[in-house]
Structure 1
Amino acid sequence: MTDTFVALSDPTRRLLLDRLSEQGGLTLSELSEDLPMTRQAVAKHLAVLESAELVASERDGRCKRHYLNPMPLAKMAKRWLVRFEDVPLGSLSGFHAAPAIRPAHHP
Structure 2
Amino acid sequence: MIYHLAEQAHWQQALRDGTYAQSTRGRTLAEEGFIHASSAEQWPVVRSRFYADVAEPLVLLHIDESRLGSPVVHEVGDPATGETFPHVYGPVEVGAVVGTTVLAPPHR
TM-score (norm 2): 0.28
**Which structure is richer in relative contact order (CA contacts within 8 A, separation 6 or more)?**
2
Q: Whose radius of gyration is greater, 1 or 2?
A: 1
**Hey, which of these two has a bigger chunk of helix by percent?**
1
**Hey, which of these two has a bigger chunk of strand by percent?**
2
TM-score (norm 1): 0.28
